[in-house]
Amino acid sequence: MPDNKEIIQNSCSFRTSIGGQALIEGILMRGPKKQAIVCRTKDGLIEKTEDRKFIKDRYPVLGWPFVRGCAAFIGSLVKGMQALTYSADLIPAEEQGEPDKFDAWVEKHFEAEKAQKIIIGAAVVMGIALALFLFIFLPSFIIGFISPVKDKMVLRNLCEGLVRIIILLVYMKLTTLSPDVKRLFSYHGAEHKTIFCYEHGKELSVDNVRLESRFHPRCGTSFLLVVVVVSILVNSAVIESNTYLRMLYHLALLPVVVGISYEINRWCGAHDNVLSNVISAPGKWLQRITTAEPDDGMIECAIRALELVIPEERGSDAW
C-alpha cells in the first residue's frame, strides 16, 4: 500500500465512501475493497484486515436503488456484530463476565466456529426483533389506547411517529448511563473525526484529527433518524384503525421505509447544498448523544484502521 503521507499529499478535499463503526476498545473501518478492525489491548494495537465481499456481486438485483438499502442494512448488522464479537474476545479472560445460559449451551454443543455463527445470528435476530418491537409495534399499541386519536388516521399517524422519535431519543440517552457505552461513543467520535480529516486532505495525525468535527452526515445514527421520519410519511398511507392490522401493515412497509431512507442518506453523503444540510442537521444533532470527544489512543486506533482500507488507486473510494 502507498505511504499514508503520499496519499494525503496527492489528494484533495472530497467525500469518501469509507465508513466505520465503533467497537469495544477499537474501530471497524470499511473501504471499497477491504475492511479493517483495529483494537487497543494491553499489548498494543491488534489489527485484522480482510477483503470485502458484496452480496450484490452474486445477486445484482440487490444492488438496485431502493432495493440495496435492505441488503446493506442487514449486511452491516451481521458484519458489525461479527466485529463487536471479535473485539469483545480480545478482552482479557479475567475481565470478561460469565457467558449467559444461551451462549454457554451453544458453546457446549457446537464446535467453536459454528457456535460463534449461531451466537452472532441469534444476536442479529434479537436486535432486529427489539427494533421492531420498539419502533413498530409499541407506538401503534400505545396510541391504540388513546380514544380521541385512534380513529383519526392523520392524527394517529403523526402521534405514532412522535412516539417513535421519543422512544429513539430516550433509548439513546439511557445508553449513555453505561461507562462502557460512553467509551464506545468516544471511539465513534474518533471514527468520524478521522474520516473528516481524510476527506479534507490533511495528513492523518492525532493533532490534525483532533481539530475535526465529530458530527458526520453519513453516520448510522443519522440513518436511524431518517428511518423514523420516513416511516411517518410512508405509514401515512395506512388507514386501518385496528391496532394489530396496523402493526402488520407497518411491518410490510418496512422494506420500503429502509430503502427510501438509505437512498436519502446516500444522497446527503454525496452532496453539499442547502437541502442536504437541512436533511442532515437533525442526525448531526442526535450525534451529540451518540458521539463523544476521543482521547489520543482512540484517535490512533481510528487512524490506523482508516490507513488499512485506503485504496491504492487514489480517488477510487470517492462517494
Q: Determine, yes or no, domain membership for 241.
A: yes
Q: Determine, yes or no, domain membership for 80.
A: yes
Query: What pLDDT, in 10s, does the model give residues 75-84?
Result: 888 888 889 8
pLDDT beyond 70 at 18 = yes
Q: Which of 39, 33, 66 is nearest to 187 (CA)?
A: 39
How many residues does the structure list for the chain? Answer: 319
DSSP 102-171: HHHHHHHHS-HHHHHHHHHHHHHHHHHHHHHIIIIIHHHHHHTT-HHHHT-HHHHHHHHHHHHHHHHHHH
Q: pTM of this prediction? A: 0.86
Cell 436511524 -> residue: 224
Grid coordinates of 53: 465481499
Q: Which domain holds residue 192?
A: 4-139+148-309
Q: Which of 29, 78, 90, 289 is nearest to 185 (CA)?
A: 289
Query: What pLDDT, in 10s, does the model give residues 278-290?
Result: 888 888 889 999 9
For residue 69, what pLDDT is reported? 87
**Spatial separation of the C-alpha atoms in residues 49 and 34, rounded to whole Å:** 7
Return the bridge partners of 45, or none.
Answer: 40
Query: What pLDDT, in 10s, does the model give residues 206-215?
Result: 999 999 999 9
Q: Is residue 219 within 8 Å of 287, Cβ to Cβ?
A: yes
Based on the number of CB atoms within 10 Å of its own CB, is 292 exposed (0-12), middle (13-18) or buried (19 or more)? Answer: buried
Q: Determine, yes or no, domain membership for 19.
A: yes
At 2, the pLDDT band (50, 70, 90 cuts) reads very low
Q: Determine, yes or no, domain membership for 319.
A: no
Span of 92-96, 137-141, 155-159, 248-252 with lowest mean pLDDT: 92-96
User: For the chain, what is the mean pLDDT?
Assistant: 87
**Number of domains observed in the structure of the chain:** 1
Q: Determine, yes or no, domain membership for 89.
A: yes
In this prediction, residues 267-277 reach a mean pLDDT of 82
**Spatial separation of the C-alpha atoms in residues 88 and 251, rounded to whole Å:** 32
234 versus 102: the higher-pLDDT residue is 234
For residue 8, what pLDDT is reported? 40
68 Cβ partners below 8 Å, 6+ apart?
A: 56, 62, 259, 262
Q: Determine, yes or no, domain membership for 172.
A: yes
> What is the tally of helices (H) and strands (E) in the chain?
14, 4
Q: Which of 206, 180, 40 is nearest to 96 (CA)?
A: 180
Q: Determine, yes or no, domain membership for 31.
A: yes
At 95, the pLDDT band (50, 70, 90 cuts) reads low
Return the bridge partners of 26, or none.
Answer: 23, 39
For residue 94, what pLDDT is reported? 64
At 185, the pLDDT band (50, 70, 90 cuts) reads very high
Q: Is residue 1 within 8 Å of 304, Cβ to Cβ?
A: no
Q: φ, ψ for residue 247 (rounded to 5)?
A: -60, -45
In this prediction, residues 52-73 reach a mean pLDDT of 87
Q: Which of 237, 275, 283, 235 is nearest to 258 (CA)?
A: 235
Q: Determine, yes or no, domain membership for 318.
A: no
124 versus 308: the higher-pLDDT residue is 308
3-class DSSP assignment, residue 290: helix
Give me the amino acid identity at 2: P
